[in-house]
Amino acid sequence: MASNNQDLPEATVQNVLEQDTLKWVFVGGKGGVGKTTCSSILGILLSQFRSSVLIISTDPAHNLSDAFQQRFTKSPTLVNGFTNLYAMEIDPTVEKEDSVSSDGMDDFLSDLTNAIPGIDEAMSFAEMLKLVQTMDYSVIVFDTAPTGHTLRLLQFPSTLEKGLAKVMSLKNRFGGMLSQMTRLLGVDEEFGEAAILGKLEGMKGIIEEVNRQFKDPDLTTFVCVCIPEFLSLYETERLVQELAKFEIDTHNIIINQVIFDEEVVESKLLKARMRMQQKYLDQFYMLYDDFNITKLPLLPQEVCGVDALKEFSHHFVTPYQPSLARGSVEELQNRVAALKEQLKDAEAELEKVQKGKQKI
């Protein structure tokens, strides 16, 4: 099926680039499949269509700095060589330290976040989104952590909502006691019960608005990145199912590290890998026949630095074409030349071994 796909959707990310209403583009998948490279290149390509683009890494491993070979922090930094592309690296599990200290509610909020599993990340994510919303970027690309963390990130709105409901129920049960204690202890009004609940309500408002935007296919899309192997196929299917559950649009899959049958390959290992990959490529096309599937070639070197990212980016907008067609006159001539070269090397090695034996 992979070999005859004229009727399938376009095998590029052009649809994402041309959808000018998009505000949020998530890039996710299993660890080690090339998410950071793909999100970096999507950012570069989008910067050609949009007035300003921000790439945010939410993966604690932070490979964004390595991809661009430039140091990024938790504040947006202009990427070298661009006038409208920015990048930042944040860690949702750490950012909460900065997010609460300015209001003097550290202890209370710390106890609260420990009492409700997952709410600490939800609150810090809300703080980050509040910061991002104050910045006027045309589109924001999320380079997400591996699938499990990404799915947790998408659950944050409901986590925060549940957490707030718990707090409100506690307030209803012990509200009078809390008020009396804050007055007895001489706690300032700005750090009292109303202020704390106000802060949480404010976060809930932000996260609900973002949640609404995330569920709007005109504003948000999710690009799944994978490699043609069983575990990655399984993880992609899980991710697509979960995204459907969260009502988040996804119609693009990037299959990275594909070995194309174009070289004079005599290696049994490479031939076996190609056969294995083709089996899973066929399954991808069968499962996701209505998706835009982009295949990227496995390279002999890493894609690091702006120049390398730009050079590799054309595979995202133009389907990769093997340089030589298998069975063509040119390919057969190349194969014969390679075999002659191998024969020549083998004869030279044999002659050397025979001379060594004669000396003994």
Please spell the DSSP secondary structure of 272-292, one letter per residue.
Answer: HHHHHHHHHHHHHHHHTTTSE
Residue 259 near residue 229, CB atoms below 8 Å:
no
C-beta neighbour count of 300 within 10 angstroms:
4
Per the annotation, the verdict on 59 as an active-site residue is yes
Instruction: Check the annotation: does 150 bind a ligand.
Output: no
* Structure tokens given for 278: 């083709």
Instruction: Check the annotation: does 37 bind a ligand.
Output: yes
Instruction: Check the annotation: does 97 bind a ligand.
Output: no
What is the rounded CA–CA span in Å between residue 310 and residue 105?
A: 46
Q: Out of 7, 59, 261, 345, which one is annotated catalytic? A: 59
Instruction: Check the annotation: does 229 bind a ligand.
Output: yes
Instruction: Check the annotation: does 32 bind a ligand.
Output: yes
Residue ranges of alpha helices (H) inside the chain are 14-18, 35-46, 64-68, 96-101, 106-115, 119-134, 147-184, 193-214, 230-245, 268-287, 306-317, 329-359
* Structure tokens given for 219: 């504003």
What is the rounded CA–CA span in Å between residue 254 and residue 39?
A: 11
Instruction: Check the annotation: does 263 bind a ligand.
Output: no
* Structure tokens given for 13: 């990310």
* Structure tokens given for 22: 């998009």
Instruction: Check the annotation: does 198 bind a ligand.
Output: no
Local structure of 10: helix, strand or coil: coil
What is the rounded CA–CA span in Å between residue 301 and residue 309?
A: 12
Residue 101 near residue 124, CB atoms below 8 Å:
no
* Structure tokens given for 97: 């330290």
Instruction: For helices 193-214 and 106-115, give the axis angle rounded to 10 degrees.
Output: 50
Residue 72 near residue 94, CB atoms below 8 Å:
no
Instruction: Check the annotation: does 192 bind a ligand.
Output: no
Instruction: Check the annotation: does 356 bind a ligand.
Output: no
CA distances from 272 to 170, 326, 327 (A): 61, 17, 19
Is 4 buried (19+), middle (13-18) or exposed (0-12) by CB count in 10 A?
exposed
What is the rounded CA–CA span in Å between residue 197 and residue 105?
A: 11
Instruction: Check the annotation: does 340 bind a ligand.
Output: no
Local structure of 26: helix, strand or coil: strand
What is the rounded CA–CA span in Å between residue 294 and residue 318?
A: 9
Binding-site residues, in ranges, read: 30-37, 229, 256
Binding-site residues for ATP, in ranges, read: 30-37, 229, 256
The residues that are catalytic are: 59
